[in-house]
Amino acid sequence: MSLAELGEFGIIERFAKRLERPIENLVTGIGDDCAVIRPAPGRHTLITSDMMVAGVHFLLDRTEPSDLGHKALCTGLSDIAAMGGRPVCFFLSLALPGGTPVSWLERFFDGLGALATEFGVTLAGGDTVASPVVAVDITVLGQGEPKNLVRRKGARAGDLILVTGYLGASAAGLHIIKNEIGINNLPGRLHEAAALACHAHRRPWPRLREAAVLVRDAPPTSMMDISDGLAGDLRHITGANGVGAEIWAGSLPMIPGLQDLAAELGNSADLWALSGGEDYELLLTLPEPQAEAAMRAVRGANGTPLTVVGRITDSLEVVFLDRQGRQFSPIGGHDHFGGHQ
């Protein structure tokens, strides 16, 4: 059966309603003209939207629908995490060709629903339209105590720069998927790295638990999530604060084997880590004395590493230093990396 036969109402009844759960703030959910939400006393409301269009943000024929559902929600949850907030509910707008098989939508909602359940968020509404291309837009609503919200503004010269998890794996995964590289032919250690990289690309994980313990135990001076690569995203923090930064390439946290995998595939792991997108890790700044407490808190939350990768400076410039302390530019192709592989 295709969507044209199921109809808009059928989609809402059969799939969207399944993702509704009773939560305290939601007075009225799916089925009325608007969702009605009761604001929690003393909390600010956080709102973030992300749109994904087939052919622009993902390749329809190389994307498992459950991965797409997962990722579409993950990006919004990651934004809520990056502010130090807690997600409450989300809105889903779907543009779908009439010929889309119902089984495609089933898998899409499976991936979406599993992540929503994991973080206790409910689907509260949306829109469904027929369209020549698949597009998915998710708006997530969250809340946070005003004093706990962490903005991009706030970093000070001397603060350390830290990231959660690992960088570059998602970019490596995208490279493998896009170029249809058969990872089963790779030798053991490289195969493991490649499988991890593909997983990182398909199933990024929002760092909500990590952000929650950070704001509680070691509040960052600034924070954001890395969606466009550390090098580019860091400029949003330095720009917001009129400061500069120094990034140490030798300190970038990478999954085991990523350097060897990059070499095997004629790429640069440093470039993946600095300029590859979609890691959805947290990028944050902290005064040095708080770094130990922050690392302990984050590891305690989920076993996630938190790694110092550089320092905020008062120079107005973002500088990248290789393992020998030489300055290099991560933008403009991996020729620049020839010297320190």
- Kindly list the residues in this chain that would bind ligand ADP in the complex (CB under 6 A): 12, 16, 30-33, 92, 94, 123, 125-128
Identity of the residue, 33 or 180, whose beta carbon is nearer to Mg ion in the bound complex: 33
In the bound complex, what is the minimum distance in angstroms from residue 335's beta carbon to ligand ADP? 46
Site for Mg ion in 3-32 (CB under 5 A): none
Closer Cβ to ligand ADP, 14 or 334, answer by number: 14
Gyration radius (Cα) of the chain, Å: 21
Out of Mg ion, ligand ADP, none, which partner does residue 321 contact, by CB within 5 to 8 A per kind? none
Closest CA to 142 of 150, 152, 134: 150
DSSP classification of residue 336: G
Cα–Cα distance measured from residue 328 to residue 312, given in angstroms and rounded to the nearest whole number: 17
Q: Do residues 273 and 230 make contact, with C-beta atoms less than 8 angstroms apart? A: yes
Phi, psi dihedrals of residue 191, rounded to the nearest 5°: -60, -40
- By a kind-dependent CB cut-off of 5 to 8 A, residue 144 interacts, out of ligand ADP, Mg ion, none, with none
Write down the least CB distance from residue 128 to Mg ion, Å. 7
Q: What are the start-end ranges of the H helices in the chain?
A: 3-14, 65-82, 102-118, 169-178, 188-202, 208-217, 230-241, 258-264, 269-275, 291-302
From the list Mg ion, ligand ADP, none, which binds 128 (C-beta under 5 to 8 Å, kind-based)?
ligand ADP
Closest separation in Å from C-beta 20 to ligand ADP: 8
Q: Which residue lies nearer to Mg ion by CB, 127 or 288?
A: 127
12 binds, among ligand ADP, Mg ion, none (CB under 5 to 8 A by kind): ligand ADP
Residue with Cβ nearer ligand ADP (13 or 260): 13
Residues 108-147 binding Mg ion (CB under 5 A) are 127
Nearer residue to ligand ADP within complex by CB, 122 or 259: 122
**DSSP-based three-state secondary structure for 1:** coil
Q: Using the minimum distance from each CB to ligand ADP, give the nearer residue, 21 or 235.
A: 21
The alpha carbon torsion through 174, 136, 46, 203 (nearest 10 deg) reads -30
Q: How many Cα atoms are found within 13 Å in the side-chain-facing hemisphere of 33?
A: 0
Nearer Cβ to ligand ADP (21/199): 21
Assess contact for 151 and 79: CB atoms under 8 A: no
Total residues at interface with Mg ion (CB under 5 A): 1
Minimum CB separation of residue 94 from ligand ADP in Å reads 5
Please identify, using beta-carbon distances, which residue of 128 and 267 lies nearer to ligand ADP.
128
Q: How many Å is the maximal CA-CA distance in the chain?
A: 63
Least distance in angstroms from the C-beta of 43 to Mg ion: 28
Minimal distance, residue 250 CB to Mg ion, in Å: 52
Which does residue 142 touch among ligand ADP, Mg ion, none (CB within 5 to 8 A, set by kind)? Answer: none
With CB under 5 to 8 Å by kind, the binding choice for 32 among ligand ADP, Mg ion, none is ligand ADP
Residue 33 Cβ, how far from ligand ADP at the closest point, in Å? Answer: 5
CA-closest candidate to residue 123, choices 24, 11, 30, 9: 30
Instruction: Give the residue closest to Mg ion by C-beta.
Output: 127
| Number of residues written out for the chain | 341
CB of 8 to ligand ADP, least distance (A): 7
| Residues 332, 335, 339, 341, CA torsion sign | positive
Cα–Cα dist 298/148, whole Å: 16
336's torsion region: left (phi>0), alpha (psi -120 to 50) or beta? Answer: alpha
Which residues form the interface with Mg ion (CB under 5 A)? 127
